[in-house]
Structure 1
Amino acid sequence: MTSAVVVLARLLPPLRPEWRRIVGSYAIATASLCALAAIGVLTALGVGGAVVHGSWPPAAWWIALGALVLVRTVLTWREMDVSHALAYRVLARLRMALFDAYSRSVPGRRREHSGRAASVALTDIEKLEFFYAHTVAQIGAALTLFVGALVCAVAVMPAVGLVMLGGALAVALTAWAGAGPARRVGAQEQRERETQSERLVDALGALREILAYGLQDRVVREAVAGTRRSARISRRREAISHLVDGTRELILAVVVIGVIAVALVQRGTDDAHAALLPALVALAVTGVAAVADAARTVSELHPLIASADRVGAGLRRPPVVAPVDDPIPLPDGPLGVRFGRVSFSYDDRSEVVHDWSLDVAPGEHVGLAGPSGAGKSTVIALAARLWDPDAGAVALTDESGAAYPLGRVRDADLRRVVAVVEQDARLFHGTVRENLLRGDGIRSDGELRDALTRVGADDWIALDDELGEHGVRLSGGQRARLALARALCREPRILIVDEITASLDAESERIISDVLGAFPGTVIAASHRRETLGAFARVVRVG
């Protein structure tokens, strides 16, 4: 239980701006539960008096009961309104914090699975939003209600308070006893669902290959088998939950019997005490039931604990680039790139780039050659500061030769002057215009059309054409041209491309090579194709 509290508490810092709303939600939930409890106790008191004395309750009783019902109705509506609004804010806060962590720590370097990352970013946070917006308030309100009911019971009849306390402790023990098995089964269920999610993400990402090789039946069989395994585990978890719930119901029945017994023993069966007995039973049941509800909620938190642990791990991801503590401004005019004895490795593997140096003068066009795995893509990523080198330094240079280390350049300033086009550059779902504006959101349609013309795309696509997910309706050459046009819309001073002509037809390769050759700024292009590298006056070998 302590570890669960620690895991859930780790997510509180991003939610700090919402603490007033969380406290307000707890206050409303507590008032609503107290009103409901008061309705039950007051009703039992009125009914007990009517049965014992044979007369209707007085007018004050009816007025108080009506007022409580009205207050409960208003509070219920208000609680729903506040918790739903808070849930959206919690969702936004956690997503922003997680995406900010991912922006500082590129997943690719750590060989992480995109399906797991998507599960954390979407499914896990959606589970947690309801917990922090509603469940926390409900647990706090239930415990507050129990304390209030216990105080009232002790004030009226101390022995009833002892029965309530014993029942509450027994209910709490059920949560403790059922927590272990429920947590183990819940973790197993979550792992099965994660595996299923990863397989489906892989299948959707490789849909063309699956159809080409006729693997769709196998994918469906694996999905069905995984769903059945998950269903079996879910049934085991539900069986544990039903067993614990049944035990709590038995405890509540014992509490009712105990309250009646101690009341009869201590106060006898005179009319006044007999009329009070239903109210005491209602008070005791209300208090212990509140603890039972809280215990049930706590015992069902194991999927949330796993989700919170994954989200917390995402928030604590170490950055792959160090924060800029003492930023320096970039000068106007052309910029070059200087690699000073840089080394870099992925995770704990051997170095991909070792003690490598290169000076690219402002305005120079340089090609990077080398076999697959030599480190060309790594050099590209270091030049764009997607990663920091393990050793050495990368800097921008001006025409006088002055260096501006990337570690001291604000990210926003760097993105304005450097544009990157990778081999598998992704196009986004939406129109051509929306994709081009992701490069720079302040371009006119005329400027966007000019960019399409520069890459030879204006005769086969228009700004309002829909691309589909990842540009699925386009060929590889067409996607490469649009990705290059998107980079050109930024009007960068340094253009970095990575294997952009790989697997393209001769015509697409020629067009892209012409665009790179006509680019007025600095160009660094990695390629393994002789035709592409032949367009560069200077070619440097990597590896």
Structure 2
Amino acid sequence: MITLSAADTFRGLLPVLRPEWRGMLWSYAVGTASALTLAGVTILTAWVVGHAVVERTAPEPAWWAVIIGLVLLRVVLTWREMDVSHALAYRVLARLRMALFDAYARSVPGRRREHSGRAATVAMDDIEKLEFFYAHTIAQIGASLTLFTASLTTASILLPEAGIVVFTGSLVLASSALYWARTARRLGEQEQRERSDLSTRIVDALGALREVLAYGLSPQVVAETGAATARATAIARRRELLAQLVTSLREFVTTAVVIGVIVVGSAAAGVLSDTAQTRLSPAELPALIALALVGVAAVTDATATFTRLHPLVAGAERVSSGINRPPVVAVSDNPRQLPPGALGLRFRDVCFAYEDRPPVLTSWSMEVAPGAHVGLKGPSGSGKSTVIALAARLWDPSSGIVELVTPRGEGVSVADVDDRALREAVALVDQDSVLFHGTVRDNLLRGGAPRPDSELNTMMERVGAADWIGLDDDLGEAGVRLSGGQRARLCLARALVRRPRVLLVDEVTASLDPATERVISDVIADFPGTVLVASHRAETLARLEHVVEVAGAAPARPGSAPSRGPDPDRT
């Protein structure tokens, strides 16, 4: 059976599924009604067969009506149970994935040393397995326990000795899983770990496909993948053999219970002796046996289900860990709206460090006046991209304040701003910006307000993309059909379509040819709002009004950090 810690893990995900609790209860109710209906058909059939054989009496018409009604009810309930559980499964899947996505949105994986392959395994494989558990397995276990309770109670009323036999056998069946719990869970965790590592290897290989081909690593990748698959398969085979062994034990116990009920029932019916005192009619003995078999089978099903939950425990722990991951961006209890008009940026004594790494910024300050175009330069690792990310509030600083400022110098901390208002006012374009699967129009409007095609076409012309692609053209996954320069133009167009007041650009021109860099720089130079650009390209920085050097953890040099508007000495 699952341990208390495993039960706590499954229970820990229930708050996320609170809106689906009613559906879970309904699934349990329908499943229980279906199981009780089938049990009723089985027991009534055994009862009438017993009377037909022993007393040589034919079933009454009322019995046929009841049996036909129960069979029809069972058909309807079975269909309804499938309908309810499948609909609930899709909702559970959506709830868990949305909760995981929200957790990742609050805690950007890039700040931590995490692997996207493991994240993909959690989002796809683990949650897909858990959806069936919450949508069907819980209801199935509940229905089995309810059916066992009803069978045990009825058997005890009819013949207490039969109730004792059923209870004892069920206790042995339930205890059988405990003997193998530790081994089953260990094998389940090993299998899940091997499959997670396999997903990681595949993601790595697909993400570096050019390097794999260029360096002739294909045989090595295939061999490692095959070895990992073989290990996972071997563990699964061992787990299956263990399950078959336990199943054989349960079948033996079930047979023993049936024999025991036959013995005590026959004794009570006077079949084994010539005594005139009987507590049970011989004609009722088949029904009692069927009743005992229904109860034991329910315990067997519940115990087998519990045993199969072991591989899910590790997945549930990963999903729970992902959903409950600590946020890197705190949610404001009383969010503020931004004032209208132009906005600038102000960094005041900002400190920031990535997880388990030395600080990138220490007591770093800078101000960008509303409408100013400012560049950030410095060696790789100096913190340019970190400054851009903090301005976009992808992360919160360890200490210090990042503010949006008005022309009058009034500042509003980005941590206090309503998130939707912040995303409408501040747009980010970085070197790793991703285009989504879909058309150009879909990407330009992603997350923003509707815009007419005329405005979208105008923006496409501004970034120099109208000549080689149209709004209805499909981009493929992550814009795979486009070059780096083409992706950069569309990502910039997507940001500008939102009509932001602050434009943040991080190394967009780093690997572009001079002609594309010139186009991108021209568009940025024409932007009417505030611009903050991080770049190591002299050509890109030359188009900006002022340039600030970011010196890593050391404070910026006096006189170089503040930027309150255009620099009249810069040409």
**Which TM class, normalised by the smaller chain length?**
over 0.9
Matched, 1:462 2:470: yes
**Equivalent residues of 1:439, 1:486 under 8 A apart:** no
Determine which of 237, 242, 248 is the counterpart of 1:235.
237
Matched, 1:519 2:519: no
CA distance in 2, matches of 1:368, 1:398: 21
| Aligned equivalent of 1:209 | 211
Determine which of 182, 188, 194 is the counterpart of 1:192.
194
**Which residue identity is paired with 2:452?**
S
Assess, with a 3 A threshold, how the Cα gap between structure 1 residues 115 and 430 changes in structure 2: closer, same or farther. same
Matched, 1:172 2:180: no
CA distance in 2, matches of 1:173, 1:52: 38
Matched, 1:333 2:341: yes
Matched, 1:417 2:425: yes
| Aligned equivalent of 1:378 | 386
| Aligned equivalent of 1:442 | 450
| Aligned equivalent of 2:318 | 310
How far off is 1:357 after superposition? 0.4
Determine which of 129, 132, 140 is the counterpart of 2:131.
129
| Aligned equivalent of 2:26 | 24
Secondary structure of 1:525's match? strand
More deviation in 245-254 or 50-59? 50-59
| Aligned equivalent of 2:568 | none
**Which residue identity is paired with 2:54?**
V
How far off is 1:88 after superposition? 1.4
How far off is 1:247 after superposition? 0.5
Residues 331-359 of structure 1, C-alpha deviations (whole Å, 9 max, x = no match): 11111000001000011211011110000
Determine which of 288, 291, 306 is the counterpart of 1:283.
291
More deviation in 205-214 or 250-259? 205-214
* Number of residues of Structure 1 aligned to a counterpart in Structure 2: 543
Determine which of 267, 270, 285 is the counterpart of 2:269.
267
How far off is 1:449 after superposition? 1.1
Determine which of 145, 148, 151 is the counterpart of 1:146.
148
Determine which of 236, 247, 272 is the counterpart of 2:249.
247
How far off is 1:311 after superposition? 1.2
Q: How does 1:489-528 map to 2 (within 5 A)?
A: 489-528=497-536
Q: How does 1:97-112 map to 2 (within 5 A)?
A: 97-112=99-114
CA distance in 1, matches of 2:445, 2:183: 52
**Equivalent residues of 2:350, 2:361 under 8 A apart:** yes
| Aligned equivalent of 2:4 | 2
Residues 516-535 of structure 1, C-alpha deviations (whole Å, 9 max, x = no match): 11111111000111111121
| Aligned equivalent of 1:300 | 308
| Aligned equivalent of 1:344 | 352
CA distance in 1, matches of 2:522, 2:12: 53
Determine which of 489, 494, 505 is the counterpart of 1:481.
489
| Aligned equivalent of 1:365 | 373
Residues 111-139 of structure 1, C-alpha deviations (whole Å, 9 max, x = no match): 21111111112221111111111111110
| Aligned equivalent of 1:59 | 61
Q: Determine what percentage of the aligned residue pairs are the same residue.
A: 61
How far off is 1:100 after superposition? 1.5
| Aligned equivalent of 1:77 | 79
Secondary structure of 2:198's match? helix
CA distance in 2, matches of 1:43, 1:194: 50
**Which residue identity is paired with 2:15?**
P
Secondary structure of 2:345's match? strand
| Unmatched 5+ stretches in structure 1 | none
Determine which of 402, 425, 437 is the counterpart of 1:429.
437
CA distance in 1, matches of 2:527, 2:517: 15
**Which residue identity is paired with 1:395?**
E
Compute the TM-score of the two structures, normalised by the length of structure 2. 0.93
CA distance in 2, matches of 1:325, 1:55: 76
How far off is 1:191 after superposition? 0.3
Matched, 1:535 2:543: yes
Secondary structure of 1:429's match? coil
CA distance in 1, matches of 2:344, 2:469: 34
Matched, 1:404 2:406: no
**Which residue identity is paired with 2:137?**
T
Secondary structure of 1:118's match? helix
Secondary structure of 1:341's match? strand
CA distance in 1, matches of 2:83, 2:337: 48
More deviation in 377-386 or 258-267? 258-267
CA distance in 2, matches of 1:461, 1:67: 65
How far off is 1:304 after superposition? 1.8
Secondary structure of 1:218's match? helix
**Equivalent residues of 1:439, 1:487 under 8 A apart:** no
CA distance in 2, matches of 1:185, 1:224: 19
Residues 364-418 of structure 1, C-alpha deviations (whole Å, 9 max, x = no match): 0111001111111111100000000001100000100000111110110100110
**Equivalent residues of 2:374, 2:546 under 8 A apart:** yes
More deviation in 334-343 or 444-453? 444-453
Residues 419-477 of structure 1, C-alpha deviations (whole Å, 9 max, x = no match): 00011111111111111111524111111111111111111111122211111111111
**Equivalent residues of 1:163, 1:259 under 8 A apart:** yes
| Unmatched 5+ stretches in structure 2 | 552-571
Secondary structure of 2:521's match? helix
CA distance in 1, matches of 2:525, 2:405: 21
How far off is 1:169 after superposition? 0.4
Compute the TM-score of the two structures, normalised by the length of structure 1. 0.98
Secondary structure of 1:337's match? strand
How far off is 1:171 after superposition? 0.6
**Which residue identity is paired with 2:10?**
L
**Equivalent residues of 2:437, 2:479 under 8 A apart:** yes
How far off is 1:89 after superposition? 1.5
CA distance in 1, matches of 2:214, 2:483: 16
**Equivalent residues of 1:419, 1:492 under 8 A apart:** yes
How far off is 1:362 after superposition? 0.3
More deviation in 71-80 or 268-277? 268-277
* Root-mean-square deviation (Å): 1.3
Assess, with a 3 A threshold, how the Cα gap between structure 1 residues 337 and 302 changes in structure 2: closer, same or farther. same
Question: Structure 1 segments of 4 or more deviating over 4 A?
Answer: none
| Aligned equivalent of 1:320 | 328
**Equivalent residues of 2:348, 2:365 under 8 A apart:** yes
CA distance in 2, matches of 1:439, 1:53: 77
How far off is 1:326 after superposition? 2.2
**Equivalent residues of 1:344, 1:391 under 8 A apart:** yes
Assess, with a 3 A threshold, how the Cα gap between structure 1 residues 73 and 439 changes in structure 2: closer, same or farther. closer
**Equivalent residues of 2:188, 2:312 under 8 A apart:** no
| Aligned equivalent of 1:93 | 95
How far off is 1:159 after superposition? 0.3
More deviation in 19-28 or 520-529? 19-28
CA distance in 1, matches of 2:213, 2:354: 33
| Aligned equivalent of 2:398 | 390
Secondary structure of 2:17's match? helix
